[in-house]
Amino acid sequence: MKKIIYGVLPAMLTAMVTGCSSDTVSELMPENPETPVQESNEVKAPLKLDNDMIALIDTHRANAVDLIRTVIGSAGKTENVVFSPFSIYTSVSMLANATDGENLEEILAFLHITDQGKEIQERDDLFPLFPPSGQEDKALEFLNRNNARLIDNIPYLDSGVTLKMANSVWTDNGFDIRPQFSDIMTTTYSAPTFTHDFSTENVADLINSWVSEKTDNLIPRLMTAPLDGPVALATAMYFKGGWNQPFDPANTSRQNFTCGDGTEVEVDMMHHSNVMAYMGEAYGGYTLTLTFGNSLYYMSFFLPVDEVNLTEVAESLSLGRFQYWHLATGRYGETEVDIPKFSVQADYDLRNILQTLGVNGIFSPSRWNGLTDSSEYLWVQQAVHSTAFSIDETGSEAASAGGLTLGAGHPVHTIPDPIPERIFRVDRPFIFTVMEHHCSIPLLVGCINKL
User: Highest-confidence range of 211-220, 261-270, 303-312, 442-451, by mean pLDDT?
Assistant: 261-270
| 3-state DSSP assignment of residue 345 | strand
CA separation for the pair 129, 146 (Å, rounded): 13
| 3-state DSSP assignment of residue 252 | coil
Quote the pLDDT of residue 245: 92
Per-residue model confidence as pLDDT tens digits over 199-215: 888 888 888 888 889 88
Q: Which CATH number is associated with domain 2-241+344-409? A: 3.30.497.10
CA separation for the pair 397, 5 (Å, rounded): 8
Among 35-44, 135-144, 429-438, the least confident range: 35-44
Quote the pLDDT of residue 116: 52
Q: Which CATH number is associated with domain 249-342+413-448? A: 2.30.39.10
Quote the pLDDT of residue 357: 92
State pTM to two decimals: 0.85
**Average pLDDT of the chain, as a whole number:** 79
Stretch 104-108: mean pLDDT: 92
In this prediction, residue 126 has a pLDDT band, given cuts at 50, 70 and 90, of very low
What type of residue is 123? R
| Residues paired with 337 in a beta bridge | 272, 424
Per-residue model confidence as pLDDT tens digits over 280-295: 777 778 888 888 998 8
pLDDT of 413 higher than 80: no
Quote the pLDDT of residue 41: 52
In this prediction, residue 8 has a pLDDT band, given cuts at 50, 70 and 90, of very low
| 3-state DSSP assignment of residue 341 | coil
Instruction: Give span(s): CATH 2.30.39.10, the chain.
Output: 249-342+413-448
In this prediction, residue 247 has a pLDDT band, given cuts at 50, 70 and 90, of very high
Stretch 41-63: mean pLDDT: 84
| 3-state DSSP assignment of residue 169 | strand
